[in-house]
Every structure is written in structure tokens, then in C-alpha cells.
Amino acid sequence: MFFSRTARIYVPCALASSVTISLILGIAGPVSRAQQHGSTSATAPAEDAKASHFVSDLLSRMTLEEKIGQMSQIAFQEKDSVSHDERIRRGQVGSFLFITDPVEINRLQHVAVDQTRLHIPLIFGYDVIHGFRTIYPIPLALASSWDPAEAQHVQSMAAREASSVGIKWTFAPMVDVARDPRWGRIMEGAGEDPYLGSRMAEAQVRGFQGDAIGSADHILACVKHFAGYGAAEGGRDYDSANISDEQLWNVYLPPFHAAVEAGVGSLMSAYMDLNGVPASGNRFLLRDVLREKWGFEGFVVSDWRTVENLKTHGFADGPEDAAVRAVNSGLNMEMTGSVFRDSLAAAVKSGLVKESTIDDSVRAILLMKYRLGLFTNPYASLDHAKAELGSTAQHEAARVAAERSAVLLRNEAGLLPLKKSVASIAVVGPLADSKPDTMGSWSLAGHPGDAVTVLEGLTKKLGSTVTVNYSKGVEIDRVQPSIFDEQFASPKPVLRTQQERDAEFQHAIDQVKRSDVAILVLGEAQNMSGERASRSNLSLPGRQQELLEAAVATGKPVVLVLLNGRPLDITWASQHVPAILEAWYPGTEGGNAIANLLTGIANPGGKLPVTWPRSVGQIPIYYSQNLTQIPDETDTRYWDGSSSPLYPFGYGLSYASFHLSNFKVDTSSMRADGSLTAAVDVQNTAAVAGDEVLQLYTHQRAGSASRPRRELKGFTRLHLSGGEKRTVSLTLHTKDLGFWSPQTHRWAVEPGVFDLWMGEDSTAAEHATFSVVP
């Protein structure tokens, strides 16, 4: 595929689909693109041979205990009866996580390189999820840009910062498909769709790793959580996922496969049981699918203490059994815990684990260390770190990303952008001046002092000509504390009495009354999203809904700006608030980006990567459902309310307006290796420039199994000047129509008639049909 940051166009090519498939009349099945054509992150054959020889020689000189040490990772902050330095000297650790100080990283690295028998360097890992020191929009927001080139650029910039301090490995991207917004970790992925998720997975892997593993200023990516974690029952984090084979192959696995095809160097196993088997002891996932079907050659790390928790799951009967099951299933490194270190040697000596299995794990780990350049240049440059962290270039990139990720959900009577006649605005809400809550969850290495809040951004943008009146109005807090509060906390409530809280509420409404326009910044505190942050409802926490309704009742124009990591219940707002801007958690430059968006300096062009429910009772709700009984009456499935979404997948408005015409396809039939091109004229009918995302959907009318009513198969984001008209084309390849059939138990493209739509969201109206012929 081709990414253009200047044109902002994503163009699928013959190798863009997550699987390689053939017609049902021939042999069908997923084929590794890395095996066929070479990984996009592959090194030259001569370099591969050199690396293999180096690692094989090193492995031949290692003791069993030293090998197991390379398979062990230690969390820096955790207490241990033996010092970190001594663990390194004994060869009992190959990796550390949660260290960000380059001085300490270099010191520990010197212990490993200078004071151990074989001088094997450490690899330092960290959760670089959406930035390091400079925080970018959360991954769900990046998916809202519908711009893989932007996602690639963001993660490349994040890699620059992280690598400058000596971190060479990130535990990202998360590519779990998520269709339940109650699940807190929906904010870390690309939403509900496997096609969009696959394109974002590829882009982020390339962003982190560069053209090849070991590229300067880049780091090793780790795709997680393999697999099915996003389908946790009830949206409850860590709960089991029970997924049919059809859904697993067609929905949940494709983004992982796309990441493997893009050359990712490591994967992380998931916490939960998948169909009754813990993912960290699941041979089907870690060997049958990952190694044998996909040809993955990197290494797999567990999630936090998941090896020892194989016993907690009722899967293993003790630590040694857990170690045996994990390693024999295909797990290569234990994140935290000491099960491998304490139990694997005895298991090998007793014959429960072959030493060749240990060698395979260690070889994969050492190869990645070699390719990252750790054997030749393991140390961080303090001068480079000082220049890179929080640089002007980082902040500029963060602002652009936040602007491109925002989604305009409603804009009645053109309330936005704010008119130049506005003389005063009220900026109200518990998140309006909260730096951590502007940054978002998983901002652990970020500095809140760097962040620009919405209040600060608007004051800077308008303060010399417009009066800015502020009140937080209400405070919000979690009922239960977050596991990350000690590392990165949201502001705690300071209003102690009901009288104080009522006074602040009234102060906010007074500020609205004395202003021309009110900007209400509402949503969730950052610790309300992320890991162990699932919710049983989607309402605005605390008294925010009451505050919003009171502000609207004043009669003043109200703009709702949402800071959040999941769709929330804004059904009332969608009917009564004239303008709604979904900004997600926009990151360090969020306030400046939102100020630019509200004033028209930037024009919203993002689209939803999720279907937005009206209420929690609709969940799960997603656009690509199968056709069933009475398909044309989808809004009548509940007798006590609508069954249609509040906003469809792919939806988003702009200050510009676009008209589509002259839709056509260049052929009415395709063969096995064929393609068709769909084209449509797009005209910006407004005077202002803006971005539109053209989306292509298909439906297979009949076959060996029922297929979703629509499936995304292509998209492109384009920029049009005011009045500009352009013909936009998207190419669909026959193999992009393949699926895993629950009848035949294989991948295939089945001959028959297909529908094709092209338009602005998943309800696209421009329609054509075509056939796939043998």
C-alpha cells in the first residue's frame, strides 16, 4: 500500500487485505505475505544470515539458566529480595519495564554489558501507547482521523521520544476489535471494524518500527492482546471471551494478521480465557495460528503476571505447570512474575519442556535485540534525549493530530465555527481546565505541566478580543480508585460540602448567562477509561448531565465538547445542544487544537470508528450485522425505544459541505485475480476548505454463509478547497471479498452477486452491483 502524508490518501493495493485468498474453486487459505514477498520490516538476506549466525553462536555458549533469564522481564518499581543489579549479574533478567530515566537505563545497561559473562544487553520496554513525553490523541481518536498516514506519523514521533531515553520496545499498538463501549480499553484500539483496524494496525507498526526493525529513532512494536480481549463478556475487563470461529477469523484476528504482515517484531498474549482456554497458554493461538499459519518469527511476551495466573484461571495446578503450559504453548517471555525463573529449569531437566523449545524462545528474543542494534549501541544519548523530549516539532505534530482526530457530531444553524461577533464566552465543565484529563489514560510518561487545556487554548486564542468566563461547575471522580492513580492521577474533588458544590454549580450557570456562547467541556476523567476502567452505564459521570441541561435552559447557545475514551450517552444532547464536538482525549496540545477547531482555523474532518449507541441497552451495536428477519425494520427491534444508532459508523460533519455525483464502476464482473474501480465526483459546495472521507462498502448476496449487510473495503481522506470538485476512485480487488466460512472451514472468495456502496459513512447511498465469476 501507499501512504501519502501530503495528499492524506490511503490507497489499498493488491497486498492490502489482511489475508491472501483464492476462489472457492481453488485452494484457499491465509497465506503469509511475509513468506510470499518479504515483510515490510525485513532486513537484507545477508544481514539476516549474519544475525542468525551471531545469535546461534551466542546461544551455544549460554547455560540453561542464562537462557531462562532472557525470557524473564522485571518491573523496575517492584520490590525484590535480590537487587536489580544482582539479577542482571546472575543472568536472571533480559528486560525491564517502567523505567524512563536515561541515566538509570544506561547504568543498568552497563551492568549487563560490562559485568556479565556473555555481555548480553537488556531491552527496556514501556507503554508508549499514544506518545511518551509529548502525548498525542488516544488510539481511538487516531482511528477517527481515518488517516493511516497520520497514525503512522504519530507513532513515529512517539518512537523518537522514547528511543531517545533508551526505551527500545513499546507495548503497542493494541489492535483488539471492540464493539462494547462499556469496556474501558476501547480507547486503546481502532474501534469496531476489522478493515479499519487492520489498516491502523499496519500503520502504527510501521510508525513505531520504521522501514526495518533497528531503524534509527524507532523502536520495536508489540501488537496486543492476542486474541479476542476486546470481546470480554459484559465489557468487563479481564472477563472471558467466547467467540465463534466465524467471528474469530473474520472479525478479531484480521488486525493481528495485518500487523504480522507489516513486520511486527513482538506480540503480547491476552489476559483472558478465549473459548475456555487462557490466551497465555493457548497453543491454538500461539502456535497453530501465529507461527504455523502466519509464519510469525518474532517473540511473544505475556501480559502482566498472566503466566502465574494460569493457576488462578483453574488451568494450571501450580507454578511449574503454568510455566510448562505457557512455554509449550508458544509463550517466549514472562512479563513480571518469577514463574519462568523459578520453575523452567527444573521442568527442562525433568523432561516436561524440551531445551530446544527454550532455545527457540531465546533465539527469537536475541534476534530482535540484534536487529535493534543493542549489541553494538545499547546506550542512550543524554544530549539527544534533551533535544527530543517535548520539542517544538513534537508539539506541532501533536496539535495537528488532535485537529485531524476530532469528530463534529452536530452543528445546527452553523453555530460553529464561532462568529467573530462573539464578545464573550463561558468555558464550563470539570474537564475544561484539567491537564491530565486533556492528555488521557496511558499518559504515564507525560508531564501534565506541558498540556494545554481547553480553557488555556481558548484564552490564548481569544483572550485579547473576547472575554472568557470560566467555572468548572461540577466535579467528577471514580467510585473505585484506578490502579494507575499513583502514577498518573486526575484532579481530586476539593468541594467538601453540598453548599460548596451547589455554589459552584450556580456560579457556572451565572457565567453562562453573562456570556454570548457557552462551551461546556464534559466527559470522563482520564482514569475512567483504560485498563480496569469498565463501566456498567455510559451516562455522563456525576452531575454533568444536570449542568448541561441547566446551561441549555438559559437560552444561550451551547457547544458541547467531549473529552472521553468511549461513546457516551448523549442522546439528550443530540436533540437539545446545537453543536457537539467529539475531541476524545486529545493529548498535550489538545487545548490549542480544540481552540483552532472551535474558531475555524482548523476544520473538523474526523469520522467515527464506532457505531454510537443511543443507550447502553443497545450494546453490542455495530454496523456490520448480518441480515436476519425483517431487515428493513431495524428500528423496531425494541418496543420501548429505537434500535437504530444515534450516529452510524463512519459518521462525521464538517464546516464544509460535500455533494457526491456521477457514481460508477468500471466493470460489472471480476475473476479470481481481478479488480474493479469505483469512482465518484466529490464537490465541496461550501466556500471554506474541508476534508471528506469517502468509504466503500460491499455485501455478498448469497453464499455458503450469511454475510454482514455491509463491510468496509476501502476508504480515502481527501482535502478540497472551497468550491473544488474532484473525481475520487477506490479500487476493490477480488481477494478483498474473501471470508472464513463456517460451512467449509476455510477462507474463500465465493462466486456470486455483490452490492457495492460508496459514500460518507456506513449508510452510504451511492450503489452498484457486480459479480464474481469462476
Residue 28: what pLDDT? 32
* Lowest-confidence region among 62-66, 401-405, 439-443, 460-464: 460-464
| Total length of the chain | 774
Contact 676, 731 (CB under 8 A): yes
Positive or negative, the CA dihedral 368, 370, 375, 381 is negative
pLDDT greater than 90 at residue 543: yes
Cβ proximity of 740 and 245 under 8 Å: yes
pLDDT band of 257, cuts 50, 70, 90: very high
Gap between the Cα atoms of 505 and 670, Å rounded: 63
| Cell numbers at 686, concatenated | 461550501
The letter for the amino acid at 160 is R
* Residue 467 host element (H or E): strand 467-471
Q: Are strands 2-4 and 9-11 parallel, antiparallel or unpaired?
A: antiparallel
Of 615, 519, 626, residue with least CA distance to 567: 615
Query: Can you tell me the mean pLDDT for 152-167?
Result: 98
Quick one: pLDDT band at residue 27, thresholds 50, 70, 90? very low
Phi, psi dihedral angles at 584 (to 5 degrees): 55, -155
* Residue 358 CB contacts under 8 Å (≥ 6 apart), including other chains: 64, 67, 68, 71, 327, 344, 348
Report the 10 Å Cβ neighbour count for 243: 18
What is the tens place of the pLDDT at every residue in 679-706? 999 999 999 999 999 999 999 999 999 9
Would you call the peptide bond into 181 cis, given omega within 30 degrees of 0 as the criterion?
no
Q: Give which of 668, 152, 696 is closest to 404, Cα–Cα.
A: 152
b (16+ CB within 10 A) / e for 465-495: ebebbbbbbbbbeeeeebebeeebebbeeee
Q: Give the pLDDT confidence score for residue 43 in this predicted structure.
A: 64
pLDDT in the model for residue 516: 98
What are the two backbone dihedrals, phi and then psi, of residue 675, each rounded to the nearest 5 degrees? -160, 165
Parallel/antiparallel/unpaired status of strands 169-170 and 517-523: unpaired
Q: Which cell numbers in the block locate residue 575?
A: 436533540
Indicate the average pLDDT of the chain: 94
Which candidate, 469, 475, 465, places its Cα nearest to that of 509? Answer: 469
Tell me whether residue 12 is exposed, middle or buried, using C-beta atoms within 10 angstroms of its C-beta: 0 to 12, 13 to 18, 19 or more. buried
Convert the pLDDT of each residue in 170-213 to its tens digit: 999 999 999 999 999 999 999 999 999 999 999 999 999 999 99
Round to whole Å and give the CA distance between 372 and 368.
6
Contact indicator for 220, 300 with CB cutoff of 8 Å: no
pLDDT at 232: 96
Res. 110: pLDDT tops 80: yes
Read off the pLDDT of each residue in 375-393 and give the average, rounded to a whole number.
98
- Strand stretches in 169-293, DSSP E: 169-170, 222-226, 266-269, 273-274, 277-278
Could you tell me which residue, 277 or 77, shows the higher pLDDT? Answer: 277
* Residue 463 confidence (pLDDT): 81
Over residues 111-123, the mean pLDDT reads 98
Predicted pLDDT of residue 71: 98
Contact 1, 12 (CB under 8 A): yes
- Sign, CA dihedral 634-195-244-240, equals negative
494, 467, 475, 462: which is closest to 432 by C-alpha?
475
pLDDT for res 4: 36
* Type of residue found at 692: E
Tens of pLDDT along 665-680?
999 999 988 999 999 9
Rounded to the nearest 10°, the torsion over CA 437, 439, 443, 449 is -90
| Cell matching residue 250 | 473474520
Instruction: Report the pLDDT value the prediction gives residue 502, as an integer from 0 to 100.
Output: 98
Mean pLDDT for 436-443 is: 98
Residue 34 has φ and ψ, to the nearest 5°, of -65, -35
Distance of alpha carbon 282 from alpha carbon 286, whole angstroms: 6
Signed CA dihedral, 114, 115, 121, 124: sign only = negative
468/393 Cα distance (integer angstroms): 29
Could you tell me the pLDDT band of residue 631, with boundaries at 50, 70 and 90?
confident
Residue tagged 518479504 (cell numbers): 38
Whether the predicted pLDDT of 10 surpasses 80: no
DSSP assignment of 646-677 equals: SB-TT--B-SS-EEEEEEEES-SEE-TT-EEE
327-361 exposure pattern, b = at least 16 Cβ within 10 A, e = fewer: bbbbbbbbbbbbbbbebbbebbeeebbeeebbbbb
383 catalytic residue (yes or no): no
- C-alpha to C-alpha distance for 265 and 251, rounded to whole angstroms: 22
Distance of alpha carbon 44 from alpha carbon 636, whole angstroms: 58
> Which set of grid coordinates corresponds to residue 33?
505475505
CA distances, 47 to each of 44, 58, 214, 596, 774 (Å): 5, 16, 12, 48, 43
Residue whose C-alpha is closest to residue 131's, from 435, 373, 384, 441 = 441
Burial zone of 76 (CB within 10 Å; 0-12 exposed, 13-18 middle, 19+ buried): middle
**Could you give the angle at the alpha carbon of 360 between the alpha carbons of 354 and 365, nearest 5°?**
135
pLDDT at 33 over 50: no
Q: How do strand 95-97 and strand 407-411 relate by DSSP bridges?
A: unpaired
**pLDDT reported for residue 504:** 98
Which uninterrupted H or E stretch holds 334? strand 334-335
Whether residue 25 has pLDDT greater than 80: no
> pLDDT tens, 310-363?
999 999 999 999 999 999 999 999 999 999 999 999 999 999 999 999 999 999
Q: What is the rounded average pLDDT of the residues 579-604? A: 98
Please give the DSSP secondary-structure letter assigned to residue 708.
B
1, pLDDT greater than 70: no
Q: Is 343 helix (H, G, I), strand (E, B) or coil?
A: helix
What percent of the chain shows pLDDT beyond 90? 90
Q: Does the pLDDT of residue 8 top 90, yes or no?
A: no
pLDDT in tens, 703-754: 999 999 999 999 999 999 999 999 999 999 999 999 999 999 999 999 999 9
pLDDT category, 294, cuts 50, 70, 90?
Answer: very high
Scanning 165-297, the segments in alpha helix (DSSP H) are 194-209, 245-247, 254-261, 283
- Choose, from 127, 180, 303, 433, the residue flagged as catalytic: 303
Give the whole-angstrom CA distance, residue 59 versus residue 562: 53
